[in-house]
Amino acid sequence: MKIFTLFIILTFAILPACSARQEVRGNTPKQYLLDQITPGKTTRQEVIKLIGTPTAVASFNQDQWYYIGQYRTRWAFFDSDVEDFSLVTIKFAKNNLVEMIKRDDKSALSEVEFNNKITPTEGTDPSVLKQLLGNIGKFNQQSQPK
């Protein structure tokens, strides 16, 4: 009877570790905050005060900001699944006013297949014999007096 009770207690102690965990990654501005940004009127500083700093800034165009966020669910030790994805792009005009706001969701994502091929490198591919005997005489040479 004691073993059965101990088993029940351990089961209920371990069971919560298998429950789902919600993970939020990045910055996903709420829609009511985005509705307060008006193209042609809202400045960069007002955008930062309203929704925070961007997740990323375009490399070659500092006038384009990205707010990227994900909601993921993880079950115990398994990989997490993307439940929701949000990408907000804000583009600024030269006068630092918002020019455009665009919001994309999970439907904008696309799968990228990995390529397992090896990148060829230039150079020699020495044999085992050359690797073993190739360094004989290269090191620990005694210097000859001049």
With a pLDDT cut of 90, the percent of the chain lying above it is 32
- Domain membership of residue 135 (yes or no) is no
pLDDT bin (cut points 50, 70, 90) of residue 10 is low
Report the pLDDT value the prediction gives residue 14, as an integer from 0 to 100: 66
Range of the domain at 25: 19-107
Of the candidates 56, 38, 60, which has an alpha carbon nearest to the alpha carbon of residue 47?
38
Report the pLDDT value the prediction gives residue 111, as an integer from 0 to 100: 77
If you count DSSP H runs as helices and E runs as strands, how many of each does the chain have, helices first? 4, 5
Least confident of 32-46, 88-102, 111-125: 111-125
Q: Between the ranges 90-94, 108-112, 140-144, where is the mean pLDDT highest? A: 90-94
Domain count, the chain: 1
Residue with tokens 């005009």: 93
Report the pLDDT value the prediction gives residue 48, as an integer from 0 to 100: 94
Q: Could you tell me the CATH number of the domain that includes residue 95?
A: 3.30.1450
Report the pLDDT value the prediction gives residue 140, as an integer from 0 to 100: 65
Q: Taking the model in full, what pTM does it have?
A: 0.61
- Domain membership of residue 136 (yes or no) is no
Examine the pLDDT at 28 and tell me if it is beyond 90.
Answer: no
- Domain membership of residue 69 (yes or no) is yes
